[in-house]
């Protein structure tokens, strides 16, 4: 189902003067978005999408609201560019958030409160911050008649936190026309500062994502009385198999994306990079090291277990579910390493799998990297950009099926002691107010350059 939300003529005369520090409006907009309860599966996605549509309409930008199911709303808007012959840039975002338990938080997770220089609440980093920055930039530009260099397609997806099934995946399958002409996209997952040493920062732009799979392991044997000698006990066999899944059972594979990040870190840190021992460079990355480390290997973690029905009966089977993150395009290699680590006592069944985001054959678009680098340097003179691989997943995995090259670029200059990754889906999720101002100004600059 669709609903047209028409905006007024772009570039219309606006009587309300735009303030000098217009980028600060992103904080109030982000706070408003946080106060809208868009916890996944709840009723808030449509209300939030309608609020964004009204915001854009007031700025003179029309939108189309589409729904995969009632209430599961995705909004798509087109903003004209100075040069209509250029391919539009897709800015892909999501309005849903993961749930939050208020009793675990220092502030109410839907408060959108500003305290101690931070804006607090669920979605403050994932990813209502970027939604607010983009809305603020588009409003400022359209009202001021300052169109971006190329046209924009803004997508505000539903259901990203459930793998995008009712959001981006649905839209790619059922409404590919919404993204017509788009060859590149920016979105969440990269662009934040990683301090290497004082005054030296890398802003990793994610150009690849690991794939994901859920696998079921089953060990089987005849049920038996628990008083017997019985090494075939499926619970023991399964336990031994999953006990073998330590990270060192998976080989180090240095992909070009992670190599570039580690080489840049070594260059800024003044140490030599050893491609035979890439893990030696991880410590330069501080709190980013964990993310980079998981980009060097396939991983598999047991996350669910099930067996038995009475303590004195050895059951006939035991099962475990694995959450697997494999380097994109290397499924067969992952399965070979996994099977070797598990041994031959268990059956393996695939429950679900996504492809991840595989880098393009001829490497990432250099024009986008150049524009991102210049835009960042206009606000942080020492900024260096690098590619990297995200160990989690985003809607980019769906959009690449339309031939759209996706980049994680949500520019944020963060305090050096902030463990940014711990805030994603975490307790006390919050964004520094200054970082939100920074991202708004950098994205604005980026739209002139790219
Ligand atoms: Zn997200």
For residue 243, report the distance from its CA to the centre of ligand 1, in Å: 31
Per-residue pLDDT, 198: 87
For residue 144, report the distance from its CA to the centre of ligand 1, in Å: 30
Asked whether the predicted pLDDT for residue 77 surpasses 70, the reply is yes
For residue 127, report the distance from its CA to the centre of ligand 1, in Å: 5
Q: What is the DSSP string of 213-229?
A: EEEEEEEE---EETTS-
β-strands 347-354, 194-197 pairing: unpaired
Name the pLDDT band for 19 (thresholds 50, 70, 90): low
Helix (H) or strand (E) holding 433: helix 433-449
Percent of the chain residues past pLDDT 90, beyond the cut: 89
For residue 269, report the distance from its CA to the centre of ligand 1, in Å: 30
Asked whether the predicted pLDDT for residue 258 surpasses 80, the reply is yes
- Residue 225: CB atoms within 10 A of its CB come to 9
* 82 to 77, 138, 152, 155, 442: CA distances (angstroms): 17, 13, 11, 20, 19
Helix (H) or strand (E) holding 93: strand 89-94
For residue 111, report the distance from its CA to the centre of ligand 1, in Å: 19
Location of each CATH 3.30.70.360 domain in the chain: 207-354
CATH class of 207-354: alpha beta
CA distance 439 to 423: 17
For residue 161, report the distance from its CA to the centre of ligand 1, in Å: 7
pLDDT tens digits, residue range 78-108? 999 999 999 999 999 999 999 999 999 999 9
Asked whether the predicted pLDDT for residue 5 surpasses 50, the reply is no
Per-residue pLDDT, 10: 37
CA distance 147 to 54: 20
Asked whether the predicted pLDDT for residue 220 surpasses 80, the reply is yes
For residue 166, report the distance from its CA to the centre of ligand 1, in Å: 15
CATH class of 2-189+394-449: alpha beta
For residue 90, report the distance from its CA to the centre of ligand 1, in Å: 16
For residue 395, report the distance from its CA to the centre of ligand 1, in Å: 8
Asked whether the predicted pLDDT for residue 42 surpasses 90, the reply is no
Q: Enumerate residues with CB within 5 Å of ligand 1 (an ion).
A: 126-127, 188
Per-residue pLDDT, 118: 98
Asked whether the predicted pLDDT for residue 218 surpasses 70, the reply is yes
Name the pLDDT band for 360 (thresholds 50, 70, 90): confident
| pLDDT average, residue stretch 127-151 | 97
Asked whether the predicted pLDDT for residue 412 surpasses 60, the reply is yes
DSSP state, 97? Answer: B
Per-residue pLDDT, 283: 95
Location of each CATH 3.40.630.10 domain in the chain: 2-189+394-449
pLDDT tens digits, residue range 286-311? 988 998 999 999 999 999 999 999 99
């Amino acid at each position: 189902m669709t609903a047209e939300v028409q905006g007024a003529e772009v570039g219309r005369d606006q009587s309300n003067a735009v303030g000098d520090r217009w980028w600060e409006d992103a904080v109030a907009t982000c706070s408003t978005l946080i106060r809208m309860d868009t916890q996944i599966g709840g009723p808030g996605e449509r209300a939030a999408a309608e609020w964004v549509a009204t915001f854009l309409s007031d700025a003179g930008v029309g939108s189309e609201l589409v729904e995969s199911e009632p209430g599961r709303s995705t909004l798509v808007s087109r903003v004209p560019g100075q040069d209509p012959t250029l391919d539009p840039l897709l800015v892909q975002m999501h309005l849903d958030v993961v749930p939050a338990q208020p009793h675990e938080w220092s502030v109410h997770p839907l408060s959108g409160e500003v305290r101690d220089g931070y804006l607090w609440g669920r979605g403050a980093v994932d990813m209502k911050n970027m939604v607010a920055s983009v809305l603020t930039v588009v409003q400022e530009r359209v009202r001021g008649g300052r169109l971006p260099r190329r046209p924009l397609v803004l997508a505000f997806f539903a259901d990203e936190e459930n793998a995008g099934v009712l959001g981006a995946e649905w839209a790619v399958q059922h409404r590919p026309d919404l993204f017509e002409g788009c060859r590149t996209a920016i979105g969440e997952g990269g662009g934040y500062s990683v301090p290497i040493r004082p005054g030296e920062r890398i802003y990793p732009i994610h150009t690849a994502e690991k794939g994901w799979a859920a696998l079921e392991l089953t060990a089987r044997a005849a049920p038996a009385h628990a008083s017997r000698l019985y090494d075939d006990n499926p619970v023991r066999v399964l336990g031994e198999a999953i006990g073998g899944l330590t990270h060192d059972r998976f080989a180090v594979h240095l992909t070009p994306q992670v190599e570039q990040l580690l080489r840049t870190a070594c260059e800024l840190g003044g140490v030599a990079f050893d491609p035979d021992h890439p893990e030696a460079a991880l410590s330069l990355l501080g709190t980013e090291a964990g993310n980079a480390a998981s980009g060097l290997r396939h991983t598999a973690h047991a996350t669910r277990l099930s067996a038995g029905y009475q303590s004195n009966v050895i059951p006939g089977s035991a099962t475990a579910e694995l959450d697997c993150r494999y380097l994109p395009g290397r499924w067969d290699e992952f399965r070979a390493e996994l099977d070797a680590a598990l041994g031959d006592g268990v059956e393996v069944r695939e429950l679900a799998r996504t492809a991840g985001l595989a880098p393009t054959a001829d490497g990432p678009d250099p024009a986008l990297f150049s524009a991102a680098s210049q835009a960042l340097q206009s606000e942080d003179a020492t900024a260096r950009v690098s590619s990297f691989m995200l160990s989690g997943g985003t809607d980019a995995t769906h959009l690449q099926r339309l031939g759209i090259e996706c980049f994680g670029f949500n520019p944020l200059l963060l305090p050096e002691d902030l463990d940014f990754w711990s805030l994603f889906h975490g307790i006390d999720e919050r964004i520094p107010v200054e970082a939100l101002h920074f991202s708004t100004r950098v994205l604005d600059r980026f739209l002139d350059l790219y």
